[in-house]
Amino acid sequence: MDDSTGLPLELADNLPWHFHDLAKSRTVDRVPEKGEVCLWLVTSEFRFASASNIGSWLSIAERRRARLYPNSSIGRRFGVARATLRLVVSQMFACRPQEVRVEDAPDERLVVRDASGERSLGVDVSYSGIWIVVAVAAANVGIGLSIEAPGVQGAPAAVAEAARRARARAERGEPGADSSSWHGLVLPMPGEICGVVAVDQPVTGVQAFGWDRSAEGTGPR
């Protein structure tokens, strides 16, 4: 626990955040470097994850899962999230989206490997309403999202809850990790959503796709 903030991780500050349009998602042609976190913010209407792409990129089990959701909009959101994950990771592994190996491990943990199964990445996908957040790093990573009280953006309680969820999700890949090893990023989420990403190594830079920011700079504190 970070005694100075009451958070279950140390928030990274004064980092270089590089913001990109979603249309440039296909240009990420390498795996993240050590300390680098790549993030995507999309909605369930993300145009690159069209119905045809979802149909061809997802596995049979993933397509069946999307159809089995009682609410079609939630099923669509799941399909878009998996298609987006496969799209961005396939560029890093230099393979087709449908060749990316995505395994559903216990506790909703995702295991992602290249087509040969020899290389892997730390990934997480989280949802809030129509919004989908995807995180990719060369480390264990988790995304925590919570809803702030109306009119109280950045409220400490909401940040703390998002941080708790993020670390809990990241720890699925490394149970029992020492508290000092967890580092967090506060996400500039839309509306009343509060988001934190937890990583089990110091963060040195962020590549962010889909956020409404016109220039590169330092992310939120």
Q: Where are the domains of the chain?
A: 10-213
**How much is the pLDDT for 213?**
62
Q: Give the pLDDT band of residue 2 (cuts 50, 70, 90).
A: very low
Give yes or no for residue 164 having a pLDDT over 80.
yes
**How much is the pLDDT for 173?**
62
Residues 45, 49, 53, 56, CA torsion sign: negative
Q: What percent of the chain clears pLDDT 70, i.e. is strictly above it?
A: 86
Report H helices in 69-216.
Answer: 72-93, 156-170
Strand ranges of the sheet holding 141-147, from the earlier edge strand across to the other edge? 10-11, 183-187, 193-199, 141-147
- Bridge partners (DSSP) of residue 196 are 144, 186
What are 12-22's pLDDT values in tens digits?
888 899 999 98
Least-confidence region, from 6-10, 86-90, 142-146: 6-10
Pairing of strands 10-11, 205-209: unpaired
Mean pLDDT of 35-42: 96
**How much is the pLDDT for 107?**
83
- Within 8 A by CB and 6+ apart from 215, the residues are 19
The model's pTM is 0.89
- Within 8 A by CB and 6+ apart from 74, the residues are none
Which homologous superfamily is 10-213 in?
4'-phosphopantetheinyl transferase domain (3.90.470.20)
